[in-house]
Chain A
Amino acid sequence: MADPVAISVNQVSKKFGQGKDAFFALDQVSVDIRENEFFTLLGPSGCGKTTLLRLIAGFEHPTGGYIKLHGEEISHLPPFKRPVNTVFQNYALFPHLTVAQNIGFGLDMQDKPAAEVEATVTEMLQLVQMESMRDRRTDQISGGQQQRVALARALAPHPRVLLLDEPLSALDYKLRKGMQIELKRLQLETGITFIFVTHDQEEALTMSDRVAVMNKGQILQVGSPNDIYDRPTHRFVADFIGDTNFLEAELVESASDSAVVKLASGKTLKTGPTDAGLNTTVSITVRPEQAVLIEDLDSADLQGTVTHVMYSGTDSHFHIELPSKEEFVAKVQNAGPTRRDWKTGQNVGIKFHDNVVQIVAG
Chain B
Amino acid sequence: MSEELQSLSEYELAARQQETKRNWLLCTPALVVLLLAASGPLLVMLFYSFLKSGDYGGVIYEFSLDGWFNVFLVRDIFDDVLQFADAHLSVFWRSIKLSAMTTITCLVIGFPTAYFIATRPRQSRNFWLFLITIPFWTNLLIRTFAILELIRNNGILNNLLIDLHLISEPIQILYTDTAIMIGMTYVYLPLMILPLYASMEKLDFQLVEAAYDLYATRIRVLRKVIIPLIKPGIVAGSILVFIPSLGAFVTPRVLGGGKNLMLGNLIQLQFDQGQNWPLGAALSITLLLIVMVTLLMYVRYAQNSGAKNG
Contact = CB atoms under 8 A, between A and B. Distances in A.
B309 A96 contact: yes
Contacts of B211: 94, 105, 109
Contacts of B207: 92, 94-95
Q: Which 10 pairs show the lowest CB-CB distances between chains A and B?
A: A106-B214, A92-B210, A109-B215, A79-B212, A92-B206, A109-B216, A97-B310, A96-B228, A80-B215, A79-B213
Interface string B202-245: 00101101111111110010001100110000000000000000
Given A80-B215, A95-B229, A109 B220 contact: yes
Contacts of B209: 59, 79, 86, 88, 92
A157 B216 CA distance: 12
Contacts of B212: 58-59, 78-80
A195 B215 CA distance: 19
A53 to B, nearest CB: 11
A90 B210 CA distance: 11
A110 interface: yes
Nearest to B216: A109
A49 interface: no
A38 B302 CA distance: 46
A103 B262 CA distance: 51
22 contacts: A59-B212, A80-B213, A80-B217, A85-B213, A85-B214, A88-B210, A90-B204, A90-B206, A92-B206, A92-B207, A94-B210, A95-B229, A96-B228, A96-B229, A97-B309, A105-B216, A105-B224, A109-B215, A109-B216, A109-B224, A137-B310, A154-B214
Contacts of A106: 214-215
B204 A92 contact: yes
A57 interface: yes
Interface of B: 204, 206-207, 209-217, 220, 224-225, 228-229, 306, 309-310
Contacts of B206: 88, 90, 92
Contacts, number: 68
Among B210, B211, B217, chain A packs the most CB atoms within 10 A around the CB of: B210
Contacts of A157: 214-215
Contacts of B225: 94
Interface residues of A, number: 27
Contacts of A80: 212-217
Contacts of A28: none
A154 B306 CA distance: 25
A285 interface: no
A163 to B, nearest CB: 9
A224 interface: no
A290 interface: no
Contacts of A96: 228-229, 306, 309-310
Given A57-B213, A101-B310, A109-B211, 18 more contacts: A58-B213, A79-B209, A80-B215, A84-B213, A86-B213, A90-B204, A92-B204, A92-B209, A92-B210, A93-B210, A94-B211, A95-B229, A97-B310, A105-B214, A109-B214, A153-B214, A157-B214, A157-B215
A110 B213 contact: no
Contacts of B306: 96
A110 B310 CA distance: 20
B26 to A, nearest CB: 32
B215 A86 contact: no
Nearest to B207: A92
Contacts of A85: 213-214
A308 to B, nearest CB: 47
Nearest to B221: A80
A98 interface: yes
A96 B215 CA distance: 18
Interface in A153-209: 153-154, 157
A331 B217 CA distance: 56
Nearest to A59: B209
B59 to A, nearest CB: 53
Contacts of B229: 95-96
A95 B309 CA distance: 10
B68 to A, nearest CB: 45
A123 to B, nearest CB: 17
A119 B91 CA distance: 56
A84 B216 CA distance: 13
Interface string A71-114: 00000001110001110101011111110010001100110000
B210 A110 contact: no
Contacts of B309: 96-97
Interface in A115-146: 137
B24 to A, nearest CB: 33
A98 B310 CA distance: 6
Contacts of A109: 211, 214-217, 220, 224
